[in-house]
Amino acid sequence: MPTLIRWRDGRAELAEDPYTAVADDAGVPHGEVIVSLTRFLQEGERLLGEGRHVGVRVEALEAVEDLAYDLPRISVVALVFPKFAQGQAYSSASLLRERFGYAGEVRAVGDVLREQARFMVRCGFDAFEPADGSTPDEWTHAVGRFRHVYQRAADHLAPAFEERGS
Amino acid sequence: MYAYDAIDREMLADRVAEFREQAARRLSGELTEDQFKPLRLMNGLYLQLHAYMLRVAIPYGSLNPVQLRRLAHVARTYDKGYGHLTTRTNIQFHWIKLRDAADILRDLAEVGMHAIQTSGNCIRNVTADPYAGADSSELDDPRVWSEAIRQWSTFHPEFSFLPRKFKIAVNASPDADRVATRTHDIGLYVARGDDGALGFKVFVGGGLGRTPYIGPLIREFLPATRLFSYLQAILRVYNRLGKRDNKNKARIKILVATLGAAEFARQVEAEWEKIGPAGDLPDTELARIRGAFTPVAFEALPARSTRFETAKQASPAFARFARNNLRPHKKSGYAIVEVALKAIGETPGDISAEQMDALADIAERWGLGDIRVTHEQNLVLPHVKLDDLAEVHAALAQAGLATANSNLITDIIACPGLDYCALANARAIPIAQAIAETFADPERAERIGELKIKISGCINACGHHHVAHIGILGVDKKGEEFYQLTLGGSAAEDAEVGKILGPALPAGRVAPAIDELVDVYLRERSDGERFLDTYRRVGLAPFKEAVYADAH
C-alpha cells in the first residue's frame, strides 16, 4: 500500500489509508474503496447502498462535473496525475473546492512529487500518495517555502493584494 | 515605475532559497539531471550546447538603471561579459555555471529581478508596448495591466503545468502594434467601450513555431475590471482541453483552430460566467499598481529645440540618428530614443556589460531613469529632452550604441541559433551579420526604408521569421545548413504570416538573395511604399523570379 500523506492544519502527517484502490477489472472487496469514475457511474448506487465509504478516481481527461450531483455522498475524489507535468487535475481540484464546495478528501494520485506539493495544496488537495518517497516533513517543508501568494485559491490564503490592503 | 514592496521582495527571497536547495541537491548528486531538469526549467535555467543558459525576466520590458547595472554585474561576474536580449524582452546569459546560478538569482533579487516565468509550461513573462507612458496615442498605460498580470500569473497554482508555455502581450495604442500582440497565446489591445469605459479587445490563439497563426478576436470588448476572471476562464479551458500527447499540437492556437474561434469563445464565456467577479482583482489593488506608474514629471518645453536643430545641422551622423532612431513623444520638447543593438557585424541583441553600464548612466542623467527592451532586440530610452539629444547621441556613440538603423534593413532580429542553442538546425547570427554587411552603407539602407528581416535557426521560430517582411528560417538538409525565405509577413497592426518564396538556399546565397529582393522592390515601388506595401501590391512572382532566375 502506498504511503498516504494528509494535509491538516498547515502541516503534513502520515495517515492510515482505509481505502482500497480497485482496478476496473477486479472485483470489489469489502470495506472502503476507490473506484474509477466509469465504474462509479455504473455501480455507485449499489456500492453506496452497502453502507460503506466510496471514493472515485478521476483521470486527467475526465470531467469532475460528471460527479457534481453525487459529491455529497462521495468521501474521496482521487485525481490522477499520469505525469507530474500533466496538470489538468489542478483545475479539477479547484472546481471541486471552489465551484462545487466539495468538503470531502481530494487526493492526488499518480506521479505525485513534492516539488508540486505547494500548487496542489493551494488548489485544494488535502491527501497525497507521493511517488517520490517524500516524508511528511519534506512535504511540509515544500508546501511552506513561500510566505506569500499572489492569487486567491482554494486554500483561502490571503493573497498579496489583501495583505497589502489590511 | 513599479517598485517591489516587502511582499514582492519576500517572494523573490523565498524563490532563491528554494532554487538554492534544489541546485544543491543536484550538485551533491542526490538528483539526477533528469530529475533536476523540470526544477531548473522553472527557474529559467537551460542546458545548451556549451553551458547552462540563464534567462532573466524583464517583465513588460521595463528596466531602471540600478537593474541594468546589476545585469552588467551578472554578465561580468558570472558570464563572458555580455548578455543577449530576446524577442520576449528577456535577457539571456549563455555561459553560466550551475554552481553560480543561485548566487545570480540572489544578486538579481536584490534589485527586484528574477528568472521566474522564463521557462516551463507556465504563463510566461508578459510583454507590453515599449513606448508605454511616452506615446500620445495610447489609451491607457499597458504597464499597469502588465504588472497586475505579472503578479496574478506568478506561481499560479492552477496554471503552472499547462499543456505548453503560455504568452500574453498587452498593446495600448490603436494606431500601432509594437508588441507583436497577435502572435501571442493571448493578445490584449487596450480599448475604449462606446461609453468611454476602459477595456480590452481579446485575441487568443496566435503563435509562431511549426504552425503559425495570427490570433483571432474572441471578444470585441472586455471591461477592464473583469480582466482577471476572463484570463482565468481562458486558461482553465485550455488547461483542461489542450492537447498534451503531442508537443507540436499542445499550444492553445491548436485548440482554438480545432474548435474554431467562435466555439472556443463560447466555452470561455460559459466558464467566465461561472467564475464571476470572484476571479477579478479589487480596484484598490489596481489603483495601487497604477500609482506606481504615475506620469513622470515632465518639464513644460517648447516643441522646437534650437539646440537639437543646430546639432543636426552640424553633424550628419547625428542628423541620421535623428531621422531613424527618434519617435515622437506625447510631451512637447521630448523624444523617444531607439537604441539599436544592431551594429554592423555584431550579434543582434547582444549587449556588453560596459554598454549596459553606459546606458544606465545615460538613462539616469538624461532619460528620467527609464529603459525599455523591445521584442525587436533593441533598447529604448522613452523620455529624453530634445535639448539633450545631441549629448545622449554622443554618449551612446562613445559606448558603441548609436547605430542609426532602427527599423531599417540592418535592424535584424535573430535567435541565437546553432551557435548556442541545442534545438537549432542552423546558425542565425552569421546570416544576420552577412546581411548587415551587404547593406552596411547607411545611405543605401535609408533609401530602402523600413524593412524587417527576422531569422530563426529552427522551426520553433524564436526569431519570428513568419512575421517578417523578409523571413529566414534555418533548415537542415542532410547535415548542411539551408535557409528558407518567406515574404510579406508582419508582426505589427497589419499582422500576417509570410509566404514561402521557393526552395531553401545555401548559407552563401542568403545575403545575395536579399540583395536581389531589394532590387526588385526598388524597381517596383511607388512613392512612399515600404517593401511590405510593394510586395502586397505586386505579389510574390517578381521576387521569386529574381532569386530563382538562375535555376531556370
Query: Coil, helix or strand for A153?
Result: coil
Residue B338: C-alpha distances to residues B241, B393, B435, B449 (Å): 42, 11, 21, 16
**CATH label, B6-109, candidates 3.90.480.20, 3.40.50.1820, 1.20.1260.10, 3.40.1350.10:** 3.90.480.20
Contact B38 A152 (CB under 8 A): no
Contact map slice: B 263-302 vs A, CB within 8 A: 274, 278-279, 281-282, 284-285, 288
CA quadruple B387, B393, B394, B395: dihedral sign: positive
Amino acid, single-letter form, for residue B224:
A
Distance between CA atoms of residues B298 and B300, nearest Å:
7
pLDDT > 70 in chain A, percent? 98
CA-based nearest distance A148→chain B, Å: 6
Contact A85 B274 (CB under 8 A): no
Averaged pLDDT, A161-166: 88
Nearest to A126 by CA among A155, A84, A87, A148: A155
Question: How would you label B25-55 residue by residue, b for 16+ Cβ within 10 Å and e otherwise?
Answer: ebeeeebeeeebebbbbbbbbbbbeebbbbb
Domain boundaries, chain B: 6-109, 134-292, 306-398, 421-551
Distance between CA atoms of residues B432 and B425, nearest Å:
16
Tell me, yes or no, if the two domains B6-109 and B306-398 fold the same way.
Answer: yes
Q: How many CA atoms lie within 13 A of B491 on its CB side?
A: 30
Distance between CA atoms of residues B86 and B377, nearest Å:
6
- Check residue A161 and report its DSSP letter: H
**Of the partner residues B11, B156, B285, the one whose CB lies closest to the CB of residue A146:** B11
- Which helix (H) or strand (E) segment holds residue B500: the answer is strand B499-500
Amino acid, single-letter form, for residue B414:
A
Chain A's closest residue to B286, CA to CA, is A161
Chain B residues in contact with A90 (beta carbon < 8 A): 157-161, 239
What are the φ and ψ backbone dihedral angles of B220, each rounded to 5 degrees?
-65, -40
Distance between CA atoms of residues B434 and B347, nearest Å:
11
pLDDT number for residue B380 = 98
Contact B155 A149 (CB under 8 A): yes
Amino acid, single-letter form, for residue B134:
A
Contact B10 A147 (CB under 8 A): yes
What's the length of chain A? Answer: 166
Nearest to B338 by CA among B347, B329, B346: B329
Chain A residues in contact with B285 (beta carbon < 8 A): 161, 164-165
Judge whether A62 and A43 are in contact, CB under 8 Å: no
Judge whether B186 and B231 are in contact, CB under 8 Å: yes
Runs of H (alpha helix) within B215-326: 227-241, 252-259, 261-275, 283-292, 306-314, 316-325
Query: Coil, helix or strand for B60?
Result: helix
Determine contact: B240 vs chain A, CB below 8 A.
yes
Nearest to B142 by CA among B130, B154, B153: B130
Chain A residues in contact with B243 (beta carbon < 8 A): none
**CATH label, B134-292, candidates 3.20.20.70, 3.60.150.10, 3.30.413.10, 3.40.50.2300:** 3.30.413.10
Query: Can you give the residue range of the structural domain that contains A36?
Result: 4-165
Nearest to B135 by CA among B380, B375, B388, B324: B380
Q: Identify the contact set of chain A against chain B, taking CB-CB distances under 8 A.
A: 63, 84-88, 90-91, 94, 99, 115-116, 118-120, 122-123, 145-153, 160-161, 163-165
Distance between CA atoms of residues B323 and B404, nearest Å:
8
Give the number of other CB atoms < 10 A from CB of residue B503.
12
A1 pLDDT band, cuts 50/70/90, is low
Digit-coded pLDDT (tens) for A49-61: 999 999 999 999 9
Contact A87 B161 (CB under 8 A): yes
Q: pTM for the full model?
A: 0.96
CATH of residue A71's domain is 3.20.20.70
**Of the partner residues B154, B157, B161, the one whose CB lies closest to the CB of residue A85:** B161
pLDDT number for residue B552 = 54
Chain B's closest residue to A98, CA to CA, is B275
Distance between CA atoms of residues B179 and B61, nearest Å:
10
Query: Coil, helix or strand for A23?
Result: coil
Domains held by chain A: number = 1
Determine contact: B361 vs chain A, CB below 8 A.
no
CA-based nearest distance A135→chain B, Å: 16
Chain B's closest residue to A87, CA to CA, is B161
* Environment class of B434 (CB within 10 Å of its CB; exposed 0-12, middle 13-18, buried 19+): middle
pLDDT number for residue A2 = 64
Contact B285 A161 (CB under 8 A): yes
Residue B372: C-alpha distances to residues A164, B120, B233, B379 (Å): 28, 24, 31, 6
Distance between CA atoms of residues B291 and B197, nearest Å:
19
Tens of pLDDT along chain B (552 residues)? 899 999 999 999 999 999 999 999 999 999 888 889 988 988 899 988 888 999 999 999 999 999 999 999 999 999 999 999 999 999 999 999 999 999 999 999 999 999 999 999 999 999 999 999 999 999 999 999 999 999 999 999 999 999 999 999 999 999 999 999 999 999 999 999 999 999 999 999 999 999 999 999 999 999 999 999 999 999 999 999 999 999 999 999 999 999 999 999 999 999 999 999 999 999 999 999 999 998 778 999 999 999 999 999 999 999 999 999 999 999 999 999 999 999 999 999 999 999 999 999 999 999 999 999 999 999 999 999 999 999 999 999 999 999 999 999 999 999 999 998 889 999 999 999 999 999 999 999 999 999 999 999 999 999 999 999 999 999 999 999 999 999 999 999 999 999 999 999 999 999 999 999 999 999 999 999 999 999 999 999 999 999 998 765
pLDDT number for residue B271 = 98
Give me A29's grid cell.
Answer: 472487496
Yes or no: domain B306-398 corresponds to CATH 3.90.480.20:
yes
**Of the partner residues A63, A115, A151, the one whose CB lies closest to the CB of residue B39:** A115
Here the ipTM equals: 0.97
Nearest to B515 by CA among B550, B536, B488, B546: B546
pLDDT number for residue B38 = 87
Q: Give the CATH class of B421-551.
A: alpha beta
**Of the partner residues B14, B155, B236, the one whose CB lies closest to the CB of residue A147:** B14
Give me the residue label for grid cell 500574453: B168
> Strand A105-110 and strand A76-81: pairing?
parallel
Digit-coded pLDDT (tens) for A67-111: 999 999 999 999 999 999 999 999 999 999 999 999 999 999 999
Nearest to B342 by CA among B409, B416, B398, B393: B409
* Angle, CA of B277, B280 and B284, to the nearest 5°: 115
